[in-house]
Chain A
Amino acid sequence: MSSADAFELIGVDAGPVRAKPILRSIDLVVPANGVTVLAGPSGAGKSTLLRLLNRLDDPAAGEVRWRGRALTEWSPTELRRQVAMVFQRAPIFPGTVLDNLRVALADVAVERAGHVLEHVGLSAELLDQAADSLSGGEAQRMCVARALLTDPAVLLADEPTAALDRAARTTVEDLGRMLADTGVAVIWVSHDTDQLRRLADHVIVLADGAVRAAGHLDDLDASADPIVRQSVGAP
């Protein structure tokens, strides 16, 4: 994955209420290689930014680009299959785990479905199990598996471990790291500084709707800005 794959935000205002945007006049490059962690206090606009990248929402002003094209020029469904997303609360569809995987790829063979489960650290035997009987960590990993079936180049992760216990959190973090190492760029929202320090290749700190800092962890640790130092848990 090259830097040409990065997302560019140009003069972006965005938020659920168009008249009162959370993000204001954002100019930013979001790297799409390795793991990029979006950090910052609650209400800073991290999730708002993430949802722009697969066009679950559109900015109220400005433009978002990926691979040199404005997102509005992409077919939304095609874009979302290349820029996949997992959420804080794993959305589980009715039926078995296999049924869930088939929402992403209707004609997926049982064998490939089993492989993708094993790829995210789940047993292929779970395929026939009711999806709503999975534990929180298993459900989140199933959601990652489901998203991987569309062969995405990027995986957006909106606080994917916030609802999980410590053990499950570790497995999902490891999965994120593994994906980044195997060529799927991960853009991960977190306000857990320990997690950020374990995962991040790049960090973007948002505060109060603006970009406070962006770069490598070492650079941000040396920042003079106390909000940045606090957001990355600088020693």
Chain B
Amino acid sequence: MGAIVGGGMMLAVEQGDIGVVGLAASGILVAVAVAISLWRQLGLERSLLWAALRALVQLLAVGWVLQFVVDPDDPLFLSALWIVAMVSFAAYTTSRRAADVPKVLPLSLLAYTASAIVVLGVLFGFGIYDLEGRTLVPLAGMVIGNSLASTVLVSRQLLIAATEQREVIEGRLALGLSATEAFRPHLRQALRTALVPQIESTKAVGIVFLPGAMVGLILAGVDPADAVRVQVSVMYLVLGSVATTTAVMSLGISRELFTPAQQLRRPAQRTDD
């Protein structure tokens, strides 16, 4: 597929520049949402304005920093640093949102790192994209950002299974099954729960919705055929990264839930040794 976002992007910057006035005008749509909230007494005005403002400030800040990170003259060092920061932040967020999961922080660090290595390794190793800050940073962002929700979900699912299905799991252990065998049905179920929504949205793409990356490229003036190829590679990237992250995470958590003597730990013991 070779460097599919070659010259198009330069053109995009010209055509896709909506300017400060344009940006302010798009704020009218936030006003519409606020008006609806007021009209139907939803009480969401403050949340809406705060969310819109936060998104603006965060993205402006990111955009400013990205200028330096994706500079073609930069030797990828800043890009790498940026990815480390993203992985760390994703792991921190996961550990906050699945706080009861044993060893959640080191496991999620491992999961996001493994996923980034595998997925970026394929994308750059096969020359699908040219390795530079401009491609590395956003693709790593797609890997990590899209895996976050599934990783939190699979972590919580496993913990719920270990708690609510305790009798069934111990029933299998009592028959002389190993911890791996006793937990396998629950592991499978949690992974399916995390992956199926991703598979469903992959199936519906193009029919039910047009994905953001493609919309962005088309708005920015890229030929739709090029935009489609970029989008397809991004969707495969997302599938691969979600599968990798959730697999690493769930195998790690499964190990932490049991002792070496094939016993299901109790919640109070999960922080032991």
Residue numbers in B under 8 Å from A55 (CB-CB)? 261, 263
Inter-chain CA distance A187–B240, complex, in Å, is 51
Number of A residues with CB within 8 Å of any CB on chain B: 28
Tell me the smallest distance from the CB of B169 to a CB of chain A, in Å. 8
Inter-chain CA distance A84–B175, complex, in Å, is 6
Q: Are A56 and B176 in contact (CB under 8 A)?
A: no
Inter-chain CA distance A27–B175, complex, in Å, is 27
Q: Are A93 and B172 in contact (CB under 8 A)?
A: yes
Inter-chain CA distance A143–B178, complex, in Å, is 18
Tell me the smallest distance from the CB of A124 to a CB of chain B, in Å. 21
Q: Are A76 and B263 in contact (CB under 8 A)?
A: yes
Which of A18, A89, A91, A150 sits near B176, CB closer than 8 Å?
A150
Residue of B nearest to A58 (CB): B261
Residue of A nearest to B268 (CB): A17
Residue of B nearest to A55 (CB): B261
Residue numbers in B under 8 Å from A76 (CB-CB)? 261-263
Q: Are A87 and B172 in contact (CB under 8 A)?
A: no
Tell me the smallest distance from the CB of A60 to a CB of chain B, in Å. 11
Q: Are B175 and A80 in contact (CB under 8 A)?
A: yes
Inter-chain CA distance A179–B92, complex, in Å, is 54
A89 touching B177 in the complex, CB below 8 Å, given contacts A57-B263, A58-B263, A76-B263: no
Question: Quick one: which of B163-196 are within 8 Å of A by CB?
Answer: 167-168, 170-178, 185
Q: Is B266 an interface residue (CB 8 A)?
A: yes
Residue numbers in A under 8 Å from B269 (CB-CB)? 18
Q: Are B173 and A91 in contact (CB under 8 A)?
A: no
Tell me the smallest distance from the CB of A199 to a CB of chain B, in Å. 21
Q: Is A16 an interface residue (CB 8 A)?
A: yes
Tell me the smallest distance from the CB of B238 to a CB of chain A, in Å. 31
Q: Are A80 and B263 in contact (CB under 8 A)?
A: no
Inter-chain CA distance A89–B171, complex, in Å, is 10
Tell me the smallest distance from the CB of B166 to a CB of chain A, in Å. 9
Q: Are B167 and A91 in contact (CB under 8 A)?
A: yes
Residue of B nearest to A146 (CB): B175
Q: Are B176 and A78 in contact (CB under 8 A)?
A: yes
Which of B167, B168, B268 sits near A16, CB closer than 8 Å?
B268
Inter-chain CA distance A147–B175, complex, in Å, is 6
Tell me the smallest distance from the CB of A31 to a CB of chain B, in Å. 21
Q: Are A84 and B261 in contact (CB under 8 A)?
A: no
Residue numbers in A under 8 Å from B14 (CB-CB)? none
Q: Are A103 and B177 in contact (CB under 8 A)?
A: yes
Inter-chain CA distance A16–B262, complex, in Å, is 16
Inter-chain CA distance A147–B176, complex, in Å, is 9
Inter-chain CA distance A55–B259, complex, in Å, is 11
Inter-chain CA distance A162–B56, complex, in Å, is 62
Q: Is A202 an interface residue (CB 8 A)?
A: no
Q: Is B200 an interface residue (CB 8 A)?
A: no
Q: Are B176 and A103 in contact (CB under 8 A)?
A: no
Q: Are B174 and A18 in contact (CB under 8 A)?
A: no
Inter-chain CA distance A58–B261, complex, in Å, is 9
Inter-chain CA distance A103–B175, complex, in Å, is 8
Inter-chain CA distance A147–B268, complex, in Å, is 29
Q: Is A227 an interface residue (CB 8 A)?
A: no
Residue of A nearest to B176 (CB): A81
Q: Is A61 an interface residue (CB 8 A)?
A: no
Q: Are B168 and A93 in contact (CB under 8 A)?
A: yes
Q: Mark B138-177, 1 if CB is under 8 A from A, else 0.
A: 0000000000000000000000000000011011111111
Q: Are A77 and B178 in contact (CB under 8 A)?
A: yes
A93 touching B261 in the complex, CB below 8 Å, given contacts A77-B176, A78-B176: no
Tell me the smallest distance from the CB of B162 to a CB of chain A, in Å. 14
Q: Mark A61-86, 1 if CB is under 8 A from B, else 0.
A: 00000000000100011101100110
Q: Is B272 an interface residue (CB 8 A)?
A: yes
Residue numbers in A under 8 Å from B176 (CB-CB)? 77-78, 80-81, 104, 150
Question: Quick one: which of B197-248 are within 8 Å of A by CB?
Answer: none
Residues of chain B having any CB pair with chain A under 8 Å: 167-168, 170-178, 185, 259, 261-263, 266, 268-269, 272
Q: Which 9 A-B pairs have the closest CB atoms?
A: A91-B171, A81-B176, A85-B174, A80-B176, A76-B262, A104-B175, A91-B168, A77-B176, A91-B167
A-B contact pairs, 23 of them (CB 8 A): A17-B268, A56-B174, A56-B263, A58-B259, A58-B263, A72-B261, A77-B178, A77-B262, A81-B175, A84-B175, A87-B170, A87-B171, A91-B168, A91-B170, A91-B172, A92-B168, A93-B172, A93-B185, A94-B185, A104-B175, A143-B171, A147-B175, A150-B175
